[in-house]
Structure 1
Amino acid sequence: MESLNQFTQVLGLRRAKHFLRRTSFNFTSEVLDDFSKLTPEEAFNKLTLQQNNKWIEPYDPLPTSAPDGNWTSSTKKPTDFSGQSRKRRIVTSWWWYNAITQNSLKQKLTFFLHTSFTVSKDGGAGTSTHFFDHLRLLEHYAFGNIKALSKKITFDNAMLDYLDNTKNNANNPNENYAREFLELFTILKGPQKGSGDYTNYTELDIQQTAKVFSGIKTQVDRSLIDTDTNLPKGRIVINQHEKNDKTFSDAFNKQIIKGQNTEAGIEQELDDFVEMIFSKEATAISFCRKLYRFFIKSEWNDEVENSIIKPLATELKNGNYEILPIVKKLLISKHFFDVSDSNPSDEIIGSIIKSPLQLISETISFLKLEIPDPVNNSGEFYTFFNFIHSSFLAASGMNLWSPDSVAGYPAHYQEPDFDRHWFSSNTVLARYKMIESLITGRNKVGNNGRIQVSIHLPSFVKDTIKNASDPIELITELSGYLYPEVISEERKNYFAENLLEGFPNYYWTSAWVAYTNGGDDTIVKSRLDSLIIRMVNTPEYQLM
């Protein structure tokens, strides 16, 4: 029987790996060893402690003669700055750097909210500054309230631009944002019952929703500040708002939202509308299914639906849509750790294909690649991040913060493959060239140019592996960290053959002793490079 009962045993290495991969972009041996001594609740509490961003604010070193610097806090209009596409990439690098340098659940939940309230940074979300505000809004509510976010994001300048609500007027309705708010962001369609009639809402409800949203516009100069989030927000143009009452369909019991003609009244309309949507069980269920797919597994059976997802949805709704208690209950449950049933065919550990973002972030942090400082060494940092963003992630099918459609990344919504979309004939080469790029310091995914940094594996192994002089022990320890499950002796011998090149074990032992005693890494570097490339490019490493 699948169970949400709390798992209370100490994690150990296997479950610590599982927990950290699902909850963080930072994955080091030190953190793994630390978390392996904790219970799930202790580990969860540690990941939700307040952590400050290491990089406070994006910085643009161009133009060289007079850098735009910290342009996101400038009093100038966001549209006054040139190079918006490059600046949006800098904002993305700001988020990624803080995600990979913290052990926090906040970044994973921020990204989850992105998959639920999608904006494409390069697909119509406006200026880089508004995109920066959008990320901060998601981060603000990552440990907060989904219902509150649903209200605030309607005033988000990036969202207003992206889904055209800034063009939505009483005399010229634009239903784009209204449609996606219902269909993708909150309650979802449910099975279609007839023409324009879905289980959870109808076309009439989209029309009425657009009227609720009418007259809410972008505020380009960021002069309006939301008192709850302290972030810039959009504005209300009263004479462009539909002031008549809005009557919804039978799906919402023909509820009437009274039309208003003041700013406070229009905000009250929005509040009443969101409360109506979130009063429905289907909305709570949709968010719990999204959470399950993001953190646990892309597919599930009726037992999981009835014993895991629906009870969580009830708690989410009864708890007024506070996200953190629900995530905690799920991530410290027996179900999450695969101990609530004895069916080996539905394992959760190792059941998700890593996204390109998870794959490269985990690899960089685990192998201790030294990332250039984005403030004091911005040139090298941006060169390195451009490799990540524009070469590896793009070639791997993940345009970071820029999914191809408002539905998001296919891995999160497109049946029947879901996360299997990450691994295809179109993306496999980039995934396999990633580790070679990080080891050689050259962009093997793209133009073979320098990426400014590289991993020195002998140093990593010396600092991380306790018994590196024995080839089988070396591979046992490495695979114990790298893979979700323990590998067979046959698999270890396969990797040992790659390390030894047909020589006996003492060949490696002698080379390792020569390196640790005298610093000669000629042999060990060559062999470790080959070994790690082989181990990272296995099917086991693609899973979490």
Structure 2
Amino acid sequence: MASLASISGTLDQRKAKHLLRRASYNFEKSSIENFVGKTITEALNILTTEQPNIWSEPYDPLPTSSPDGYWLASTEHPNSFSGQGRKRKIIASWWWFNSIKQSTLKHKLTFFLHTSFTVSKDSGSGTSTHFYDHLRLLEHYRYGNIKTLAKKITFDNSMLNYLDNTSNNANNPNENYAREFLELFTILKGPQIANGDYTNYTELDVQQTAKVFSGIKTMADRSIIDSDTNLPKGRIAIGQHDTNDKTFSHAFNNQIISGGNTEQEIIDELDAFVEMVFAQDATAKSFCRKLYRFFIKNEITSEIETDIITPLATALKNNNYEILPTVETLLSSEHFFDADDTDASDEIFGSQVKSPLQLVSEMSSHFDLNIPDPTTQNFDFYRFFSFVHDYFLLSSGMYLFSPDSVAGYPAHYQEPDYDRHWFSSNTVLGRYKLIESLISGRNKIGNNNLIRAQLDIVLYISDHMANPSNAIDVITEISELLYPESIDQERKDYFAENLLEGFPAYYWTGAWIDYTNTMDDTVVRSRLDALITAMMNAAEFQLT
């Protein structure tokens, strides 16, 4: 049976890289080595230790005549700045740069919360400043309380804009946010019983929820600060709030929530509503299924539902929806490390197709890609991230923080394919052209322009491989680091053909010795570029 019991002993390299891949966007060799020999408790302590961001605050170097600079700290009205699309991309680049520079769970959990409380940064989420506040709100609660986040995000200016709740008034209700709050963000529908009855809630509940949310508006100038998060939040227009009591359906035991007439009463009304939704077992289970699909795999069998989801949901609910203990239980479990059975057909290792975000993050961090420093080379960094954001991620079906719909990225919700959406005829070219672009330093997905970063595979091999003059040793060590599972000799021989060009193994030994003697890397670079391209585009690296 599937087991949430904590794994015993210490992590070997296989388990260490599995944990690091699933829990972080940083995949440096040194990070893997740091986990080897650690207990799971010690490894999770490292992953959850608070670390300040490497790049502290986004910076806009444009316009060149008078840069907007650190515009997010400005006292000017957020909409007074031009180039809002560029600025939102800079904020996304700030988050991504920090995510690949630190072995920490915080960025994975921040992104998980993005998939749970979706806002699309480029599709109606408001100004770049409001999107920055939204991202910081997710980061604030990444180790915190999901239920509290559900309350706070209702006052988030980006969410209020994105799902139109700022237009939700007592005399003219807008049900958009109310519907998504129930259908996508928290309790989810459940099987449909009858017209307008979805098991977990009904259409009546959507209408009543919209009334609870009525009168909660954006505060565009960011002048109201939340005392708990120290972040800007929206406002309450008391005169536009439905002050009547709200009666919910049988799905919520016909609970009545008293209508508020003052600002504090309206806040209390919202609190009572969220408490009611989160008191349902279905809400706890919906979050645990999301966590399972995000961190482990997408197939949830009846066994997984019984042995993993149900007890995990019970613990989450009993722990008042604190997310970190639940995630730590999942990531430390025998099930996560596939140590709870001997069934080779349900392997956890290598069971997911890597998201484009995971793919580019692993390549960038593991190969020590010489990414320009965003604080001292901001133009070059912006150009590099524009390649990542506008070409690679877009062509691969994952426009960062801008999913096509409020449901999020199809790979996270659209059954039965789920993560297989990442690898399709529409996305495969971008995935395969990524390593070619990084090796050449040019945009092979689009315009062939310089991308302002270039992978030096010769330097990587020289610095990180124990025996770089032995072809099979090089292939073995690379595969052991970068693939979920070990490969057999037949597979090693296949990759060796890319390195040896049909010559015997001593050809590579001689080529490497010539390079170390002369420092002329022409031959070894050509062969290593071919090898690493083949190994990165192999099925083994596309999986995590």
TM range (shorter): over 0.9
Deviation track 1:358-392 (CA, whole Å, cap 9, x = no partner) reads: 00000111111011111110011000000000000
TM-score in terms of structure 1 length: 0.99
Q: Which amino acid aligns with 1:60?
A: D
Aligned to 1:368: 368
CA distance in 1, matches of 2:273, 2:186: 12
Equivalent residue, structure 1, for 2:80: 80
Aligned mates of 1:176, 1:536 — CA distance in 2: 43
Q: TM-score, normalised by structure 2?
A: 0.99
Letter in 2 for 1:359: L
Alignment partner, residue 533 of structure 2: 533
Which residue identity lines up with residue 242 of structure 2 in the other structure? E
Distance 2:319 2:13 in 1: 33
What is the CA–CA distance in structure 2 between the aligned matches of 1:277 and 1:483, rounded to whole Å?
A: 42
3-state SS of 1:193 partner: coil
Aligned to 2:491: 491
Equivalent residue for 1:506? 506
Identify the residue that residue 129 of structure 1 maps to in structure 2. 129
CA deviation after TM superposition for structure 1 residue 285, in Å: 0.2
The answer for the alignment partner of 1:336 in structure 2 is: 336
Residue 498 of structure 1: CA displacement?
Answer: 1.2
Structure 2 counterpart of 1:37, which letter?
G
1:406-425 matches, cutoff 5 A: 406-425=406-425
Partner of 2:50: 50
**Equivalent position of 2:207 in the other structure:** 207
- Are the equivalent residues in 1 in contact too, given 2:236–2:263 (CA < 8 A)? yes
- Asked if 1:286 corresponds to 2:291, the answer is no
Q: Secondary structure at the match of 1:445?
A: coil
Paired residue type of 2:54 = K
Residue 246 (structure 1) aligned with residue 246 (structure 2): yes
Q: CA deviation at 1:103?
A: 0.8
C-alpha contact (below 8 Å) 2:118/2:406 kept by paired residues: yes
Q: Does 1:222 align with 2:212?
A: no
Task: Please list, as runs of the form range in 1=range in 2, the aligned pairs for 1:453-532 lying within 5 A after superposition.
Answer: 453-532=453-532
Following superposition, the deviation at residue 269 of structure 1 comes to 0.3
Distance 2:258 2:521 in 1: 75
What residue number does 2:233 align with? Answer: 233
Corresponding position of 2:60: 60
Conserved? CA contact 1:168–1:174, under 8 Å:
yes
CA drift at 1:506: 1.4
Q: CA deviation at 1:405?
A: 0.4
Verify the 8 A CA contact 2:387 2:443 in the aligned structure 1.
Answer: yes
Q: Give the conservation status (yes or no) of the 8 Å contact 2:155–2:217.
A: yes
Mapped partners of 2:268, 2:383: distance in 1: 47
> In the alignment, is the contact (CA less than 8 A) between 1:247 and 1:257 conserved in 2?
yes
Distance (whole Å) between structure 2 residues aligned to residue 218 and residue 71 of structure 1: 20
Q: Is the 2:133–2:231 Cα contact (8 Å) retained in structure 1?
A: yes
Q: Deviations over 1:382-411 (max 9, x none)?
A: 000000000000000111100000000000
Partner of 2:431: 431
Q: Distance in 2 between matches of 1:209 and 1:30?
A: 49
1:516 shift after superposition: 2.2
1:286-365 superposed matches below 5 A:
286-365=286-365
Deviation of the 1:192 alpha carbon: 0.4
What is the CA-CA distance between 1:37 and the residue it aligns to? 1.7
1:159 equivalenced with 2:168 (yes/no) = no
Once residues 180 and 80 of structure 2 are traced to their aligned partners in structure 1, the CA distance between those partners, rounded to angstroms, is: 31
- Give the match for residue 277 of structure 2: 277
User: 2:180 is aligned with what amino acid?
Assistant: E
* Matched-pair contact (CA < 8 Å) for 2:246–2:256: yes
Matching residue of 2:41: 41
Does 2:259 correspond to 1:256?
no
Q: Mean alpha-carbon deviation: is it higher for 506-515 or for 460-469? A: 506-515
One-letter amino acid matched to 2:340: S
**Contact preservation (8 Å) 1:438, 1:455:** yes
Aligned counterparts of 1:455 and 1:462: Cα–Cα separation in 2: 13
Deviation at 1:518? Answer: 2.9
CA distance in 2, matches of 1:330, 1:456: 37
Identity of aligned residues (%): 67
1:138 corresponds in structure 2 to 138
Please state whether the residue corresponding to 1:194 is helix, strand or coil: coil
RMSD in angstroms over aligned alpha carbons? 0.6
Distance in 2 (CA, whole Å) between partners of 1:86 and 1:325 is: 37
Q: Contact 2:260–2:269 (CA<8 Å) still a contact in 1? A: yes
Could you list the structure 1 runs, at least 4 aligned residues long, displaced by more than 4 angstroms after superposition: none
